[in-house]
Amino acid sequence: MIVKIGKAPDNDYKIEDAQISRYHARLSAEPQQTDWLLEDLDSANGTFVNGIQIVRKRITAGDEIRFGMNHHTDLARIVAAKNDYSEAFAALKPVYDRYIQQKIKIQSGNQFKARLFQALPFALPGVIGIVIGFLGKGNPLLFGCSLFVAICAPVVGIYFGAKQAAKVPSLLHALGDQFKIDYVCPKCGTFLGEVPWESLRNRQQCPVSSCKANWVRK
C-alpha cells in the first residue's frame, strides 16, 4: 500500500500549505506487514521524523512526523487517508481472546462451586450419621442430632449453591458490558458482536455503509 502525500489534488493525504511541495513524500508498506517506510520526494522544505530531517526512514505509531515547518502529524492520521485501520483492528484479537477466556472461567468456576455445594449436603449427613451412630449406640439424643443435621445440611447446601449460581449472571453481564465497549470497529465504533476475530478478518472491512474501514491492509 502506498499513501501519496502533498499539495497536488491527486494525493491521498492532501496538505494545503505553501511550504508543502506538490508531491512531497510517500508512505508505503508491504501487505500484511506492520512497518512503514516514509520517503521524502525531494521536497522543497523537507520531511522530519521526531524533529530530524529524513530522506527515507522506517516509522512506527509513536513517531512525530512533520512536513515542512508547520504540518505536524502522525502515522495513524496519514494511514487513515487510505481508510486503513489494519493496525487498530489487529489489536482487537487479544480483546476477543481474553473475553472468551474469562467467560469460560466464570462459567466453569461456577459449575465446580455449584457442584461442590450440591454434593456437600448429601455427603456430610452420611459421614456425621456414621460417626454419631458409632459414638451413641442408639442414644436417642444423638439420633435426634443426626436427623437434624441430615435435614439442615441440604438446606444450607442448596442455599449456598443457589447464591453462587446467582452471582454468575451479574459477572457475565459485567464482562459483556466491557466487551461491548472494547470490541468495536476502530473507525466508526460499532460493536462487532460476539463474532470471532478471525471471521471478521475474513470480511476485510467494516460492514457499516458509512464506514467501510479497511480492517486488513490492501
Residues that bind Zn ion (CB under 5 A): 185, 187-188, 206, 208, 211, 213
| Least gap, CB of 3 to Zn ion (angstroms) | 20
| Least gap, CB of 184 to Zn ion (angstroms) | 8
Is residue 103 within 8 Å of residue 90, measured between CB atoms?
A: no
Beta strand residue intervals within the chain, DSSP E = 2-6, 13-14, 25-28, 36-40, 47-49, 52-54, 56-59, 65-67, 71-73
- Of the pair 37, 211, the CB lying nearest Zn ion is at 211
Buried b (16+ CB within 10 A) or exposed e, 23-60: bbbbbebeeeeeebebbbeebebbbbbeeeebeebebe
| Least gap, CB of 160 to Zn ion (angstroms) | 46
| Least gap, CB of 201 to Zn ion (angstroms) | 14
- Of the pair 127, 181, the CB lying nearest Zn ion is at 181
Strands 25-28 and 36-40: antiparallel
- Of the pair 71, 82, the CB lying nearest Zn ion is at 82
The sign of the dihedral angle between the CA atoms of 208, 213, 217, 218 is positive
- Of the pair 22, 180, the CB lying nearest Zn ion is at 180
| Least gap, CB of 192 to Zn ion (angstroms) | 9
- The grid cell for 165 is 449460581
| Least gap, CB of 186 to Zn ion (angstroms) | 8
The CA distance from 203 to 161, in Å, is: 43
For residue 192, count CB atoms less than 10 angstroms from its CB and return exposed for 0-12, middle for 13-18, buried for 19 or more.
buried
